[in-house]
Structure 1
């Protein structure tokens, strides 16, 4: 079943991306981030029953975690870029590079984690940084990004957290041992929530691309911190 989203995403998402020179890398990040969790999960589930010992199994599990990491890191770069779109170059690249470094730290922790909770908490620092940026987006000051995309911005991380918690706590099978082994167990629920999260990430990214294409930061006024505030934000967001 994990192969179905891979083919669907590769068949539909590339045609929706703005592959112009200035957005080519971000379009690649979004496509890569959307399909990566399913690739890692597909390989993990396909080979997880091979009897080659614990080392092989945990290698497959790490591959699954790398797919999630790609989605959380590469997949979120359009969001971070849109939020800092009208910042001065120094501030913009400082935030983007900081986010990349936190993501690399998360990858290291994911590959060395020894428990389900550790594997999920390794994404805490990048998530915290995205949450701070999202908070400032709700204030409609200092930062950019489409206001229309906000609900999807909330969902892409909120639903992911919910799925991670359900998976780590083994809900509901810990309450009903043996009853939901084949359906409606925590792993099934988590995969459904991943679909919702990736869909929300896609919708938010498309709206942010539209906002960046319609926004002229050179027409904005600057403030004392060197961060440019887009004065045409309200009118452009409806385009």
Structure 2
């Protein structure tokens, strides 16, 4: 079955124009397929298989990990933070799996554009909702400042979502989330200076999260390592797969940091240090 399907794979020049976004991946493209045909591609080798399974396994891992590690009972009214965090962790992997699995659908560019929008919505939710527990816990002793920070974050998230959905290139999509990243760095700095609250050790998790996400985005934009040897990384270890792996680890770092902050909030009740 795998050998028979592999014979029908296309090279870069033969695949539809909307799928010709990486000229350094030369072969292994699936032909236009029905919905069932796309699902069947889970069981033979092609150049999107690694992308599907990396985020598919990440999605399954988080579906098991999140309910077991978030302190729901201790949070009380703060359970909404756990809920938004779950969505932030699950959305990018779920959107990515659907995008990569069905991107060769015979619906063509119209279906592909909707799948790409779904993928970008997942990334947007991770950036937008993922920062809420960070802001809430860091500025727990500054309620007015926290409200302003949440309003600014909401505005920046709205702009980022629009820019990501209308972007025409990987560089533009990466840039779309730039202001959100800068806002997070300001919150990191506030906590790093000892002005904010939160669990000890969680800040380093957040810093690793953003560093890994940025590195993955840059690798994807640079098309490395396949740019150095076109055709050698068609099926495995190309830039997009590396980005997927780094983004999954990045989400894991986010989860570790948020879990520590939520446990801190549950045990300390957002107790502010005395003046």
User: TM tier, shorter chain?
Assistant: 0.7 to 0.9
Question: 1:86 Cα shift?
Answer: 1.1
Equivalent residue in structure 1 for 2:79, among 18, 24, 48 = 24
Which of the pair has the greater relative contact order for Cα pairs under 8 Å at 6+ separation?
2
| Deviation digits for residues 40-84 of structure 1 (CA, Å, limit 9, x no counterpart) | 011101110113222321221111111111111112211111111
Q: Which residue of 2 aligns with 1:155?
A: 208
Question: 1:153 Cα shift?
Answer: 1.2
Q: Which residue of 2 aligns with 1:135?
A: 189
Whole-Å Cα distance in 2 between the matches of residues 219 and 55 of structure 1? 53
Q: Does 1:48 align with 2:95?
A: no
Q: Which residue of 2 aligns with 1:78?
A: 133
Conserved 8 A contact 1:85-1:212: no
Whole-Å Cα distance in 2 between the matches of residues 70 and 216 of structure 1? 27
Using the size of structure 1 for normalisation, the TM-score is 0.87
Give ranges in structure 2 of 5+ residues lacking alignment: 1-52
Q: Which has the larger radius of gyration?
A: 2
Whole-Å Cα distance in 2 between the matches of residues 130 and 138 of structure 1? 12
Question: 1:217 Cα shift?
Answer: 5.1
Whole-Å Cα distance in 2 between the matches of residues 85 and 130 of structure 1? 16
Aligned residues: 220
Question: 1:137 Cα shift?
Answer: 1.4
Question: 1:96 Cα shift?
Answer: 1.1
Q: Does 1:190 align with 2:223?
A: no
Give ranges in structure 1 of 5+ residues lacking alignment: 223-239
Using the size of structure 2 for normalisation, the TM-score is 0.76
Q: Does 1:33 align with 2:88?
A: yes
Runs of 4+ in 1 over 4 A off after TM superposition: 216-219
| Deviation digits for residues 98-148 of structure 1 (CA, Å, limit 9, x no counterpart) | 1111111100111111111111111011110000110121111x2112231
Question: 1:17 Cα shift?
Answer: 1.4
